[in-house]
Structure 1
């Protein structure tokens, strides 16, 4: 799977609108552009270079980059733009969201991979790992993304094991950790209580509850298996992209179920 490149065009437009000629030169320099190719472009009282000429030369270099290099360059430019003018994030979010990208902190993540609005509903211990998983997925590191998604669940279940005295989480299988954590938080009982409160009778809620319980257990098993055979922080194991995408979504679902209210 080739990495999905962060788009340069919307960021370029914001650079042009919000920053001076000199600022633009400095910002792109942080992205390790070949500054010698921009050296002849200077602002002068007469016959000086324009912003348009400067950006055109930058465009030539950006256009020659591969997807990974371009994404890194654009990401660094965004970070430096926000450092210099924190309020520019609103404009960057506006123009980038139109082409399918959102900010999570200072990281740019494709909307279709992971909706950063979901972070608010996840346990704090897991949010950083889920963001890392989505970022790795964006960069084409599928096995690393899977490892990070599982790491988020490790962090949360370890905390639950400790708080509820469930024993040594390190000695339990991934699936067992999920199951025992869900039981300790009485997730199933809370669901039944909520359904009862809105008028569901036992013949209605019992099969639903049983199937949800089973599906969560099955999702944990699938992630356990994928982690063993595809997860790799070094990104060297062969993977199937669709399964990794699904695994990150499953991890988000499991994490929300494990979130204590």
Structure 2
């Protein structure tokens, strides 16, 4: 099962602060992140015997190093938002340095690349974008049950749209698994796959078992997500969860969403 660190790296953001911003700007930016400013109040730039940016950032490092993952993620995210607000050209630099260590921007949110590749947005229905980004952001912030709920919410949004387009009835009266299965059937995903395999030379004896097993796998993935949502999903983040299962649920939701994309 997938595993990943929840901590947004401070180092690349720190380096960009040093390169792109003045001493005074750095103080203001970190202040938005709820840093204890009294601990750096004595550091001032003066014509003589003043503090350097390196000294300022070293003191900031001490506080960041003492934060837990949740507080650090909030602090680093706020710093990035303020940096981008002040200088639009810093976005490209932040994206470059953070992508090296496995993080990318999705809108204004930072998400781990190994959990959610931003490029995947092009392959999933637009109705799911907000919820799948929310799922990745909640996962990053350590809200695992909330992440699971958002991932399922992305599938709710897409299946509701398909139910309406194809007049499949009231999606609210169907189970999560049933909604996904009926939506896949309405899009004729299985028939399309068999047709494409036949076109590249597969025999019926080869493509039928493959298609049937893929159909079964998707149905099983929908059941697993339905069960996890019932027993682990919680927008308030109060239910006990198994971390690895939640990470995998984001991947399963992305897979199902790609299948449900109307092309």
- The TM-score bracket by the shorter chain reads over 0.9
Aligned position for 1:14: 16
Aligned position for 2:247: 245
1:199-251 deviation line (CA, Å, top 9, x unaligned): 22211211111111111111111111111111111111111112112211111
Task: Name structure 2 gaps, 5 residues minimum.
Answer: none
Separation in structure 1 between the aligned mates of residue 60 and residue 242 of structure 2, nearest angstrom: 36
Separation in structure 2 between the aligned mates of residue 230 and residue 60 of structure 1, nearest angstrom: 36
1:105-135 deviation line (CA, Å, top 9, x unaligned): 1111112222222122111111111111111
SS in 1 for 2:142: coil
How far the C-alpha of 1:60 sits from its partner, in A, is 1.9
Aligned position for 1:234: 236
Aligned position for 1:222: 224
Of 116-125 and 177-186, deviating more is: 116-125
The correspondence for 1:99, drawn from 98, 101, 104, is 101
Task: Name structure 1 gaps, 5 residues minimum.
Answer: none
TM-score with structure 1 length normalisation?
0.95
The correspondence for 1:85, drawn from 84, 87, 92, is 87
SS in 1 for 2:104: strand
Aligned position for 1:258: 260
Matches within 5 A, 1:105-254: 105-254=107-256
How far the C-alpha of 1:93 sits from its partner, in A, is 1.7
TM-score with structure 2 length normalisation?
0.95
Q: Do 1:3 and 1:67's aligned partners in 2 also have CA atoms closer than 8 Å? A: no
SS in 2 for 1:149: helix
Q: RMSD over aligned Cα, in angstroms?
A: 1.6
How far the C-alpha of 1:53 sits from its partner, in A, is 1.6
Q: What number of residue pairs does the alignment pair up?
A: 261
